[in-house]
């Protein structure tokens, strides 16, 4: 007869099994990312295309290494890497995929950091505009102070609904340089807020004209 296992032994065995499952899952995940990157780097355009079209299955763990390829790879490799990132984002943004959306957003946010090239950060802003929510607002609004990215940040954040993003625009109107306040005011107007003192530039004449109204 086999010896009985006490509760402590059973718990230890369960923990070991769970740990083995987690390690196995992480190993499979790393293999998926590695395989995707290898195909994205391929010299064969068909292999690259097939790879980025299937990138949604790999998901959030692939975003950081794909961003590195997009920034530093050969032109076509970088293009395929960027397309793979967008595929992951759009797959995660489909209806009913919130459990996938959250880790993708979490993986994108660090890619807004100063260590990333401007081109990558710009692309990530627009990716977040597709699937980001309240968790993305502060990181996006922080780029209102970046000379090259502030307009992308403004337009991307304008696409994220809710009180938090609106509050970020209200704060920005008091903090950004004067030459950018009119842009922030435009975003506030797009959200239904009146902004005295900063008229819509589309309504301001840019040239003098001699045309007069027709007398009736």
Give the model's pLDDT for residue 200. Answer: 76
Give the model's pLDDT for residue 22. Answer: 45
| Helix H or strand E segment including 187 | helix 178-190
Give the model's pLDDT for residue 5. Answer: 52
Give the model's pLDDT for residue 18. Answer: 47
Q: What is the mean pLDDT of the chain?
A: 88
Give 89-141 pLDDT, tens digit per residue. 999 999 999 999 999 999 999 999 999 999 999 999 999 999 999 999 999 99
Contact residues for 27 (Cβ-Cβ < 8 A; gap 6+): none
Question: How far is residue 187's CA from residue 166's CA, in Å, rounded to a whole number?
Answer: 9
**Closest among 105, 184, 103 to 143, alpha carbons compared:** 184
Give the model's pLDDT for residue 59. Answer: 95
Contact, 32 vs 7, CB < 8 A? no
Give the model's pLDDT for residue 161. Answer: 95
Main-chain dihedrals φ then ψ at residue 32, nearest 5 degrees: -60, -45
**Closest among 81, 39, 87 to 59, alpha carbons compared:** 87
Distances (CA, A) of 15 to 10, 21, 27: 9, 10, 18
Low-confidence ranges of the chain (pLDDT < 70): 1-26, 201-216
Give the model's pLDDT for residue 211. Answer: 60
Give the model's pLDDT for residue 44. Answer: 97
Vertex 116, ends 70 and 119: CA angle to 5°? Answer: 55
Give the model's pLDDT for residue 23. Answer: 46
What pTM value is reported for the model? Answer: 0.80
Question: How far is residue 37's CA from residue 48's CA, in Å, rounded to a whole number?
Answer: 9
Coil/strand/helix, residue 34: helix
């Amino acid at each position: 007869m086999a010896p009985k296992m006490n509760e402590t032994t059973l718990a230890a065995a369960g923990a070991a099994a769970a740990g083995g499952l987690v390690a196995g899952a992480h190993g499979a995940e790393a293999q998926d990312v590695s395989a995707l990157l290898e195909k994205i780097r391929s010299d064969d355009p068909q292999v690259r295309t097939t790879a980025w079209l299937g990138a949604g299955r790999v998901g959030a763990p692939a975003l950081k290494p794909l961003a590195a390829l997009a920034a530093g790879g050969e032109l076509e490799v970088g293009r395929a890497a960027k397309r793979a990132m967008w595929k992951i984002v759009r797959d995660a943004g489909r209806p009913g995929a919130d459990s996938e959306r959250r880790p993708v957003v979490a993986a994108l946010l660090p890619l807004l950091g100063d260590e990333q090239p401007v081109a990558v950060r710009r692309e990530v802003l627009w990716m977040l505009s597709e699937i980001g929510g309240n968790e993305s607002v502060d990181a996006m609004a922080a780029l209102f102070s970046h000379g090259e990215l502030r307009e992308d940040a403004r337009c991307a954040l304008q696409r994220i609904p809710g009180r938090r993003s609106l509050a970020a625009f209200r704060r920005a109107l008091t903090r950004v340089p004067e030459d950018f306040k009119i842009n922030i005011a435009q975003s506030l107007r797009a959200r239904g807020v009146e902004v005295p003192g900063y008229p819509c530039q589309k309504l301001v004449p840019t040239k003098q004209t001699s045309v007069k109204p027709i007398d009736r």
